[in-house]
Amino acid sequence: MSEGLLIVVSGPSGVGKSTVVKEVMKRVEGLVFSISHTTRQPRGKEKNGREYYFISREEFKRMVENNEFVEWAEVYGNLYGTSRRELLLRRNEGDVLLDIDVQGAINIKKLFPESIRILLFPPSMEELLRRLKNRKDTPEEEIKKRVKVARWEISRYREFTHIVINDELERAVEDVSAIIRGERLRTERMKEKIEGML
């Protein structure tokens, strides 16, 4: 059996990555979510081993030293990483969806040039600011910093294979779903099925 696709969904903080990813997971069959490790504290109803593996900074550093991460990055003061173990495990289960930041997406491109990398764009910088404010989990000073970083992140759009504007949620979810469905129909992915018929 061939390995699952690697699908990265990335974009600035507040653009709607986790909202879109959650909906796409419900809608498209055969997707598995790559659970990252992080040193940040769980938020709201988040559960260890579902949204993230929540670990201490010491544990994270030990994993970095042991070369256990495919990629890792510091994002707004917390450490986040995709473990080799997680990726290997999930790729045997289906097509893998990663919700990671732009630095992470660029690193995944280097390691897996065949990966599908979707950059979520906000409809405007004003709307991005509004979403960050509405979420009410980020202090004002921090929001300003994130919007500044967002400009750099968006400027790296050439590193991505697809761009989806998250204006209306329903359309963005359908666009991401369509990209995944389309990738699954590529000739090289259909080969096994066809060969079996010959």
Alpha-carbon gap, residue 88 to 96, rounded angstroms: 10
Shortest distance (Å) from residue 113 CB to ligand ADP = 24
Tell the smallest beta-carbon distance from residue 19 to ligand ADP (Å): 3
Binding positions for ligand ADP, 112-141, rule CB under 6 A = 131, 134-135
**Residue holding tokens 């697809």?**
162
Per CB under 6 A, does 18 bind ligand ADP?
A: yes
13 binds ligand ADP (CB under 6 A): yes
Q: CA-CA distance, 153 to 15, in Å (whole number)?
A: 11
In this chain, which of 28, 31, 103, 120 binds ligand 5GP, going by CB under 6 A?
A: 103
Give the CA angle between residues 193, 196, 197 to the nearest 5°. Answer: 95
Q: Which of residues 170-189 bind ligand ADP (CB under 6 A)?
A: 172
Q: Which is nearer to ligand 5GP, 65 or 189 (CB)?
A: 65
Q: Which residue's Cβ has the minimum distance to ligand 5GP?
A: 104
Distance of CA 36 to the CA centre of its chain: 10
Give which of ligand ADP, ligand 5GP, none residue 16 binds (C-beta under 5 to 8 Å, depending on kind).
ligand ADP
The SS3 assignment for 3 reads coil
Q: Which does 166 bind (CB under 5 to 8 A by kind): ligand 5GP, ligand ADP, none?
A: ligand ADP
- The dihedral built from the CA positions of residue 15, 85, 26 and 174, taken in this order, carries a sign that is positive
Which element (helix H / strand E) includes 80? strand 78-83
Residues 10-69 that bind ligand 5GP (CB under 6 A): 13, 17, 36, 40
133-136 — which CB contacts under 8 Å span 24+ positions?
135/14
* Binding interface with ligand 5GP (CB under 6 A): 13, 17, 36, 40, 71, 73, 75, 80-82, 99-101, 103-104
